[in-house]
Structure 1
């Protein structure tokens, strides 16, 4: 089970953006704790609300971010950011500023301290044991604490799930990002190998395409050279004829390669359907056998378990435990009594009023339905096996056809080389070199395609494991999303498993990648219109669907609590939905070892009262604020309007949250 960080306290010293509790002795100092429940980083524009959340994130991961989602070949999964991001916010370049964060992770207490001038790590501990100041040691500790294989995966999870900042890309609307998140969280021990194979496929595919472009240009240049040669007319004519045939044979070879790749895609799809049918059949068999067992147990109601076992053994395996002999006639008689609703022990009719009779009858109906479903699953598996066999035969035929085309190419290339030797030495040498170069590059293309194909074979089984792991959490994730969203959204909506089909390279096999999408009914148009993509929903719906999806992932996958940080959650909401949003955050945070940290402006309406509704009285609500109007360097607007802002905060904290 994955562990997510639970932020517990933050201390910033010597940073003039947050003077905090300034004194002559300690200088600038901001110190705040984060217990369970909701927390509000409150302020007005320019006080550093977003900066504070960014500071929390980069204390965790350092001056890096996850690269944009997508198949990226050999590019690093981490992208460096400007290490002086926080320094340029203050006049002194944060020369003496530092920040410390404590957080729980994987049942342990971590602390980290960084200089704000360049985000250098200057102290780190785990359960009070020194980790050192090596960034690599810190990264290893974070990955291990989160039960992930790589620090790169930890950064992606923190970027895409834990922190919902203004600059954060969405997750629910980005199926490529979902794949990378599921790869990291659901198959952590396979994540590195999946990433390596992905890079290998992209690199080999790119190399093959680049070489093909080079071969095309070289072939054109060779043809022009042939036109200029003044050798034997007969030899030239024959060379031209064989060159044309060779070019056609190579085109046929390329088409054969594409046909083979397409047949391998169909074979892969058929294999996936076959595996699904096998899993479905196993599930149906298990369900049917379970009902059969329950049915037999009800049929032996009133008989001691030890005696039941004797009869069950006889009925199920036709073996008599008393003498050890096979007893098919006795088993047949028991089966007859069972089918006719008779007592299995003595054969007499059961009393119609007995509860066991009605229970047995109900179980029989369920068993009949289960058997029908089992037979249907068997038929589907048989069909899937036939489709797989046909796809395998088609793949073998395509491979044989391609091999024949390659033989033709080799034969014609040999003929062309012999013809070139008949030309004058100078012309012959030049053309031979050109043909050798073309042939060498063509073999390189085939090698790159072979390596891509091998990597695709390897990654297919790993993707199947990831699919199985995703399907295993599907029901829980969809239920969590429905529960969280039903009190916020007015529309009917549901989270649905909708795997995407795509290639890793620009050519090659098509794979299935796990992903989820939203189905939302619209009330703005006549009839029922189902919206599924980002362009069909409003800005606030877009944001809160993504927030709710992140919450669902945290609920489903976190083994020991979590933090969720959101920047500007109130920005796109109207007066009605601001209250619903506040209640959403309040409910999500109402669990032990879980908190939400929200950075927002002072606004009228129900958002803040609803978010803090679990805390009675203005004083208790005020304790849940990180009030930057008191802790940050004041802006010109705050200096001139401080009383009005303070009055607004007092009114908001005194307001009572209306019932749902």
Structure 2
């Protein structure tokens, strides 16, 4: 097969078993080689890439792909990269990079990875694979992006701060490793402490000094034992406090939106009140009312502004204060009603902000209370420790020596814990500025990404859908500092609940919504970060949509692929309805020229051998159908 998949929309048509998915996967594995990404998340020193079976394609056919090769040519701006692999092993045969400086032949996987990462303006090959799996390819297993905040962080890390991506990953690994080591050592301390407690119990009937020492030791261990539940309680309260802060920020944004809406309506109402005043003088009065500053003398004029506002509210002429004689100069009733409704919405959102702010304040107070209790517990433990040291000096030498040895072991373990704690803090200090830089870079594209997503999503969904920027607060290890990671979420109005709520989890939406929200987010990323150039390869886009939304899905892909420099490759079953005609609507009257028909090109399955004539007739009917 020799396919020229240039700009625009392409359909790979077939029935189950003909190789639609295999064709898309072949493109992906030609680019990435025999690797896949580990699951997104903080992974310590583990590699970001894990191998896939080298015989991935060989296992799919009877001859085990012996002698089979595949070649893929991809353009990156003015450059092209042609990669050829052995399909029986996925080994690289050669890759050719052609650009303004000439051609270069690459024969090792390392050289190829360096070349393709550079062409994608990425510092690491792992980040290139993230782009393949989270942006370009949308295969059967559907790796979620908009629903996976960790995957968003890793993708943005590579795309927005490529020069800092490796350092971010390194610091993350240091934090996770130090945190894990400290937790393992604390487990060892717990075992030694338990053993020492058992020895103290045996000495219960010893002389007075041993009894006092056992009591002091038990109190010391009890103090340390009480630290763990307090830390757990503190962590839960901190998480609740951070969630409450996110609600406060969202409520503040809602208040800002409602304030702008009300101020605009208020300004329109004031303009209506000054309808009979020339534009220049009208501007002076409106600025006086809104800014409470006199443009003539540039002094504050609160009382004058208040008087003008009072006249407007009483339906009198704002300039002279006399009753109006003409209805045309009064503020229209519908405008006043809309303004009043906007003011009521503003008050409701202000009340909500006040409630969530109080909740956040209460949680902050709870955190402070637990921190105070924790501090006292640690102070008590230090006091018992001092008492133990005094009592040990009163013990006979042989008893003191045995306990000193146990104490030395505990001290050594605690010192190691402290070393790893300092290592974690040092790594956290190093990563803080890197994450802040990534967050700033994300915020620079925030508006463009939100606007593009919202513009593409609006004609597709029946519900009101919008993308919102909602940084997540999280720790990199199980303990330590909390960082703010850039992330986007979906806000969708549900017709069932008649309310607006943020869908944070993939289980909260239908299969169709889940897939197409993710697809539209990828489209927005291509448009904003790819300069509106790039490819999108989707397996089975028709499977989750009904007859009505199938037409909308076709329009979605057709619109995306209609711009120069963009292509969409869809692997689809032969389905009735408007999905296929609408996707190929820009290629009338010969839409079949944009179709790779596997019914005619692939090795037929048993079902196809029996039903091929009917399938081909159905394809012709679909191709002849006009877009809806």
Give TM class, smaller chain. 0.7 to 0.9
1:419 aligns with 2:391: yes
What 5-or-longer segments of structure 2 have no aligned partner? 497-502
CA distances 1:188-215 after superposition (whole Å, capped 9, x unpaired): 5479487667656644543343223212
Q: 1:66 aligns with which of 34, 37, 41?
A: 37
Aligned to 1:596: 568
Distance 1:642 1:378, change over 3 A: closer
**Deviation at 1:290?**
3.0
**Deviation at 1:247?**
1.1
Q: 1:547 aligns with which of 515, 525, 532?
A: 515
Q: Secondary structure at the match of 2:275?
A: coil
Q: Which moved more, 1:494-503 or 1:292-301?
A: 494-503
What 5-or-longer segments of structure 1 have no aligned partner? 1-19, 21-29, 487-491, 523-530
**Deviation at 1:286?**
3.2
TM-score, length-scaled by structure 2: 0.75
User: 1:324 and 1:659 mapped to 2: Cα distance?
Assistant: 63
Matches within 5 A, 1:367-406: 367-406=339-378
User: 1:468 and 1:580 mapped to 2: Cα distance?
Assistant: 33
User: 1:463 and 1:382 mapped to 2: Cα distance?
Assistant: 31
User: 2:491 and 2:290 mapped to 1: Cα distance?
Assistant: 46
**Deviation at 1:122?**
1.7
Q: 2:594 aligns with which of 624, 628, 633?
A: 624
User: 1:317 and 1:291 mapped to 2: Cα distance?
Assistant: 16
Whether the 8 Å contact between 2:113 and 2:125 is mirrored in structure 1 is no
Q: Secondary structure at the match of 2:4?
A: strand
Aligned to 2:612: 645
User: 2:123 and 2:325 mapped to 1: Cα distance?
Assistant: 62
1:244 aligns with 2:215: no
User: 1:135 and 1:400 mapped to 2: Cα distance?
Assistant: 57
CA distances 1:46-72 after superposition (whole Å, capped 9, x unpaired): 5x4333211211333343322223443
**Deviation at 1:116?**
0.9
Q: 2:82 aligns with which of 99, 105, 113?
A: 113
Whether the 8 Å contact between 2:72 and 2:83 is mirrored in structure 1 is yes
User: 2:546 and 2:74 mapped to 1: Cα distance?
Assistant: 34
User: 2:256 and 2:52 mapped to 1: Cα distance?
Assistant: 50
Distance 1:555 1:44, change over 3 A: closer
Aligned to 2:207: 233
User: 2:130 and 2:604 mapped to 1: Cα distance?
Assistant: 34
User: 1:375 and 1:323 mapped to 2: Cα distance?
Assistant: 34
User: 1:409 and 1:288 mapped to 2: Cα distance?
Assistant: 58
User: 2:200 and 2:252 mapped to 1: Cα distance?
Assistant: 59
1:38 aligns with 2:10: yes
Distance 1:629 1:395, change over 3 A: closer
User: 1:629 and 1:475 mapped to 2: Cα distance?
Assistant: 41
Whether the 8 Å contact between 1:211 and 1:445 is mirrored in structure 2 is yes
**Deviation at 1:246?**
1.3
User: 2:254 and 2:552 mapped to 1: Cα distance?
Assistant: 40
**Deviation at 1:248?**
0.7
Q: 1:484 aligns with which of 432, 436, 460?
A: 460
Q: Secondary structure at the match of 1:598?
A: strand
**Deviation at 1:250?**
0.8
Q: 2:115 aligns with which of 138, 142, 150?
A: 138
CA distances 1:485-531 after superposition (whole Å, capped 9, x unpaired): 55xxxxx8979989899876556799997544989889xxxxxxxx9
User: 2:336 and 2:491 mapped to 1: Cα distance?
Assistant: 39
Matches within 5 A, 1:438-449: 438-442=410-414, 444-445=416-417
Aligned to 2:26: 55
Whether the 8 Å contact between 2:204 and 2:211 is mirrored in structure 1 is no
CA distances 1:342-398 after superposition (whole Å, capped 9, x unpaired): 3333444445442x5344x44443443444444444444455554444443433333
Q: Secondary structure at the match of 1:484?
A: coil
Aligned to 1:558: 526
Distance 1:439 1:109, change over 3 A: same
User: 1:425 and 1:31 mapped to 2: Cα distance?
Assistant: 87
Distance 1:52 1:585, change over 3 A: same
Whether the 8 Å contact between 1:162 and 1:565 is mirrored in structure 2 is yes
Q: Secondary structure at the match of 1:396?
A: helix
CA distances 1:455-501 after superposition (whole Å, capped 9, x unpaired): 59959989998799889967875775564355xxxxx8979989899
User: 2:279 and 2:20 mapped to 1: Cα distance?
Assistant: 67
User: 1:545 and 1:376 mapped to 2: Cα distance?
Assistant: 30
**Deviation at 1:186?**
9.8
User: 2:37 and 2:253 mapped to 1: Cα distance?
Assistant: 36
User: 2:207 and 2:282 mapped to 1: Cα distance?
Assistant: 97
**Deviation at 1:114?**
1.9
Q: 1:181 aligns with which of 137, 140, 152?
A: 152
User: 1:183 and 1:349 mapped to 2: Cα distance?
Assistant: 66
Q: 1:221 aligns with which of 169, 184, 195?
A: 195
**Deviation at 1:99?**
0.9
**Aligned-pair Cα RMSD in Å:** 4.9
Q: Secondary structure at the match of 1:623?
A: helix
Q: Secondary structure at the match of 2:50?
A: strand
Matches within 5 A, 1:84-123: 85=56, 97-103=69-75, 108-117=77-86, 118-119=91-92, 122-123=95-96
